[in-house]
Chain A
Amino acid sequence: MKRIMTVDDSSSLRQIVSLVLGSAGYEVVEAVDGLDALSKLHGRELHLFLTDVHMPNMDGLELTRHLRGMPQYKFTPIAVLSGSESDPNSKQKAKASGATAWLAKPFNPGDLLAVVKKVCVDARPANGALER
């Protein structure tokens, strides 16, 4: 099963992501901000990160930079959920910090699943052994 970490300070958004992805057969790990996300990695394999940009303690872009610096996650897809605030450079900023994809909020469940399906890479067997 593919494991996705959703990082968002909004509990309802996390719940929504969990519900939508959970009912589509993904395993979802929740984290409330960048720092929390890093503390919940435990070196395990994740197939995708979905992170908000604006969060207390550590924002989504900084989290992305951190993850890209870790050998285990340097190739893991990271999708940034950016609000539709008036920053026209948000995509560029996300990209520059190492994000793989972006999705504008608000999104409907279909959009979310489409993006997840698009970037979620198949589990590699070498690490798959860990999850059993």
Chain B
Amino acid sequence: MSTDIMEQLRGAFRSEAWDLLIELDSALLALEVEPGDTALVHRVFRAIHTIKGSGATAGFAHLARFAHKMEEAFDLARAGSLGVTPDLIDCGLKACDVIRMIVDDSTEGTAVPGEVEVTAAFTRLLPEPANPQAGRIEEIKPGAGAPAAFEIVFKPNREMFYSGADPVTLLDDLRELGHAHVTAHTDQVPPLSSLEPEHIYLWWEILLVTGHSQAVIKEVFVFVEDECEVRIRLREDQAATVALLGSVPAEAFELFIAETQDHLEEIEGAALRLEGDPSSRPNLDSLFRAVHSIKGNAGLLLGHVKGPALDTSHPLQLLLRMAHGLESLLDPFRAGSARPVPDDTIQTALETCDALRTLLGRLTHGGAGAPVSQKLIERLGVLTNDMPGSQTAAGRKAAFLNTTSQCVEMIEGCFRLMENDRESTGPVFETYLRGLKTLSAAARYGNCTELEEPLAQQLRILDAAMRTGAGLGREERSVLGSAFHAARSVLDRMSPDGDVSPAPGSADAVTAPARTPEEQPGVSSSPSTIRIDQNKLDRLMRVVGELLVARGAFPLLVQKLNNGADGAGMAKELKEAGSNISRIADELQTSVMSIRMLPVKTVFQRFPRLVRDLARSLGKEVRLVIEGEGIELDKTILEQIGDPLVHLIRNAVDHGIETPEERRAKGKAAAGQLTLRAVHEAGGVAIEITDDGRGLDAAALKRKAVETGLCTAEAAAGMTEQAAFQLIFLPGLTTAAKVTDVSGRGVGMDVVRSNVRNLHGTIEIRSTPAHGTSLIVKLPTSLMVSKGILLEAGAQEYILPLSYIRDMVKLPREQAHKYRGLTLAQVRGTICSIFSLAEMLGLPTAKTPELSVAIVETGTVKYGLLVDRFLTEVEVLVKPLAGGLEQCKEFQGAAIMGDGRVVLVLNPQECHNLERTECS
């Protein structure tokens, strides 16, 4: 605690203490007149109690010690065991004076005149010697002692949640004490039908290696001691457990347990299958590999153990040896010709599997289980000195290198197979994949981060290839090869202690060739994953397959051309092949886009709760209707639209919908209706938030805007209703009569609008007083690909996104009129102002007899954009501007056309702003 805060605390206490002393004085004086008034005794007690408690907390220890006597006296008086005598009151009044002096005195700690006398007087009044500070739990010092291994059984009472306690925080506290391995037991969980959701059915066993004492562990449970059963005991195999858990990183241990469990399942499954088909090579292989992985992982884990070697009877040692034994037992059947595995070997494998499971249980918790059968150990031929791994640094390295070099060999074999047989698929890939997986597990144990990327890259390629069942293309194979080489070069550079020497210059380029520098606009840099509907992936793969087939047409065409085929016929064939490819490209685009698309439901589903809680806290009744949940939007957009929608909903409930009384008075149903609707619209999606509340009051908005100086009175007077509604987007404007917890501080709507704009979307407001408000958020379905109109202005080509275009017209030049520097024209019955794009961008304007105008609407503005001519509708991939061009707000980005030209994509909102700044 800094002295600064301490001084603040003392200051805060002083000012309160003066008030309390006045209260104390007056209560004591009143008590002198009415000694029998117990309410007055309570007042005195509370005041002195507060002085003591707050004083001590604020650092006035001396004061607290002094006040304690008086508090005790009045506590007894309160209980009736000490009479309210003139002596007591006299003492109390004198004590007030002393307290006042102590509080005022800046030199805390020195004795104050009268202090000793008053203390003595109180002591005389009190029946027996006071016992200050009784019952305080003695301070427990963080243990610096030697680590010990504890086994903790923690069974909370079913109703523990009702006291506000949470077992998770307790487990976290235990984890903070040292290395904890937590095993949750689910055996008490009843069937769903009789499950009480607010009860706890789980119980835990925790293996804790800590330097703290048992008392410190008990302290973790101090608040729940009556609500749970906690048994803490020291483990029997102290040294071994401490050695293992004290030096192995927690994650490595958890990973080992989890993976070994998986491998054991695999062993069991493979052994059983092998029983049915004793000469099945794949089953034998997977059995062998699982055993091998357990052995390798156990060896790596042992390699971490520092200090004295683990006893040979330690579960981990046994686990390693037994896995090794089983491996040796199985190995002969793999060599040479397929020899059926005899029943008794399978039996041994199954028994070993059970034994390994018991050992694993013993590692994680005290799980007793039968001791490993000596017979089994004999049958496996496990001898104490037959150890494949030891825990010296060299042993650790050996275990690591042993595992990795086996994997490398395995993968190299796969490459050779692939080289010989280009169509090779299934089995080869599977072997490759297994090698990779073991290798990545080893890399994780060895903390070898450099290996991760090249391994992950290979995994990705293989995964994709295996899913399609098609072979690897040449390019894929070369990427795979270079990633493998990158991984191998990391392994080759591994020094004996497991460190990796820095890579020679070019290695980086090899390890991460698939990274592209720029991602989509607006995506945060953190990696994100996506869950994809299997059908969508299948469709994508089918299209890719078609593409491969279509590609085959071209070599044929080349051949025909070389053979001197006739021009006209070739042109026709080429056109056919081209259109086939373009159809596939379209389909490919749709498929890939659809992968990024998620239903709006993912965002909408949290709103019912939000609306319910909001309505409750505001004392309103609101019925939420959700429509169009199935409509899909790009994942990036969905992730970023959540917050703005929350805001809009909050506003609708808080400001839009009236209280039930108000609604009844207006003749509406007591419950307001809030509709959240997603609909497809003009190349995008519109999300409407509609309430049937009081609606926006344009006049009030204008008044408020003028009051807060956001616009001038003249400007407000000339404002249309729509323009007035737009005022809600200005920062600092609120029409809420009072600021509630929910909203009304006038912040947020501007943020909402800028968020929506960042997504290239717009917000529209429709409102009818007394009938409700609709906010319509229009969003593009994807940030990547957008449809637009290619147009020409000032001899340059631009793209105007389709989502902003409401209308496109050609007007005779004489229909446009100049008025105060503005060009106005009547378009389909409404007057609209027209700006020339070329002029806005400072380009020469063309004189055409007719005006080509696009009516553009951005949610806030609607205007006519005059261009030289419209060319065609295009579909383009919009890339954000970079490299200093970001400031050119009038462009959303740039797109590359089919012929390689780069065309800028307009942002009509910013173009309009550009025009306005130029005018002013």
- Residues of A at the B interface (CB closer than 8 Å) are 9-13, 15-16, 19-20, 23, 42-44, 54, 56, 68, 74-78, 83-86, 88, 95, 98-102, 104-110, 118-121, 126-127, 129-130, 132
Contact = CB atoms under 8 A, between A and B. Distances in A.
A13 B15 CA distance: 12
Given A95-B226, A107-B57, A100 B163 contact: yes
A9 B51 CA distance: 11
Nearest to B227: A95
A12 B58 contact: yes
Contacts of B75: 85-86
Contacts of A86: 72, 75
Closest 10 CB pairs of A and B: A106-B56, A43-B617, A100-B164, A12-B16, A77-B164, A105-B53, A15-B12, A12-B13, A101-B223, A10-B50
A112 to B, nearest CB: 8
B196 interface: no
A119 B57 contact: no
Contact of B614 (A16, A85, A121, A130): A130
Contact of B57 (A11, A13, A74, A78): A13
Contacts of A85: 49, 71, 75
Nearest to A86: B75
B57 A106 contact: yes
Contacts of A42: 617, 741
Given A84-B135, A102-B223, A20 B71 contact: no
B163 A11 contact: no
B1 interface: yes
Contacts of B71: 85
B46 A54 contact: yes
Contacts of A12: 9, 12-13, 15-17, 54, 58
Contacts of B54: 10, 12-13, 16
B223 A43 contact: no
B818 interface: no
Given A12-B12, A42-B617, A56-B46, 13 more contacts: A10-B16, A10-B20, A13-B53, A16-B54, A16-B58, A75-B166, A77-B165, A105-B57, A110-B1, A119-B166, A119-B223, A130-B613, A132-B643
11 contacts: A10-B20, A10-B54, A11-B12, A13-B54, A43-B617, A68-B162, A75-B198, A83-B53, A84-B135, A106-B55, A108-B1
B169 A121 contact: yes
Of A12, A99, A104, A109, which is in contact with the most chain B CB atoms at under 10 Å from its CB?
Answer: A12
B142 to A, nearest CB: 12
A23 B72 CA distance: 34
Contact of B613 (A10, A43, A101, A107): A43
B49 A83 contact: yes
Given A13-B50, A54-B49, A20 B614 contact: no
Interface string B125-141: 00000001111100000
Q: How large is the interface on B (under 10, 10 to 19, 20 to 34, 35 or more residues)?
A: 35 or more
B163 A95 contact: yes
B162 A98 contact: yes
B606 interface: yes
B133 A84 contact: yes
B616 interface: yes
Interface of B: 1, 5, 8-9, 12-13, 15-17, 20, 46, 49-50, 52-58, 64, 71-72, 75, 132-136, 161-166, 168-169, 173, 198, 223, 226, 606, 609-610, 613-614, 616-617, 643, 646, 741
Given A19-B9, A99-B163, A118 B169 contact: yes
A16 B223 contact: no
A10 to B, nearest CB: 4
Contacts of A130: 610, 613-614
Contacts of B133: 84
B165 A127 contact: no
Given A85-B71, A100-B164, A44 B49 contact: no
Contacts of B223: 100-102, 118-119
Nearest to B643: A132
Contacts of A118: 169, 173, 223
B646 A132 contact: yes
Given A54-B46, A105-B57, A110-B1, A121 B166 contact: yes
A44 B9 contact: no
A129 B169 contact: no
A127 B46 CA distance: 38
Nearest to B50: A10
Given A12-B17, A13-B57, A106-B56, A75 B50 contact: no
Contacts of B16: 10-12
A44 B162 contact: no
